[in-house]
Amino acid sequence: MPMTASRARRGLYGILAGGLLSAAASTATAAPAAHAAPDPCSSSAHAGRLSTTSDRISQYLADNPDVNQRLTQIAQQPPAQAKPDLRTYLNSHPGVARDLQSIRAPLSAQRNQCGMQVPPSNILMGLGSFTSGCMPFGGGLPYGG
């Protein structure tokens, strides 16, 4: 399947989501109340935060076409080559790295606060790969398979 800009961006988001910041394990539990606010550690809360983060990264890349172009090129490479190239690019462009880390900070904070060892977004990506042969239109869940 040919690589499109949107597939490249999704791949880049996966690399960014999985590789820029590592999570520290800390568990916070609370007893559910009868009319409590939605669980901030639920998969739906994580998906909402992931969506917001993705929108902000998308806007950042649209506002910085040179960064967008380079990260798109990196995202079109095989993963074994993309990861070190992304690290090299971000190390040589610390302002870009800081900007992207700042955008991702709420997502990372939620992951740390909730003690997420495997973010729900990674589980969805895995399910997409798992179900791609079973779903109509070669589909799967978000991010395709």
pLDDT band at 21 (very low <50, low <70, confident <90, very high): very low
pTM of the model: 0.59
Domain boundaries, the chain: 43-114, 118-145
Torsion of CA 92, 67, 108, 3, to 10 degrees: -120
| 89-128 per-position pLDDT tens digit | 999 999 999 999 999 999 888 888 888 877 666 776 666 6
Q: What is the pLDDT of residue 141?
A: 37
| 4-19 per-position pLDDT tens digit | 656 555 555 555 544 4
Average pLDDT, the chain: 74
User: Between 4 and 140, whose confidence is greater?
Assistant: 4
Q: What is the pLDDT of residue 28?
A: 37
Q: What is the pLDDT of residue 23?
A: 35
- Euclidean distance between CA atoms 87 and 75, whole angstroms: 12
- Euclidean distance between CA atoms 112 and 80, whole angstroms: 27
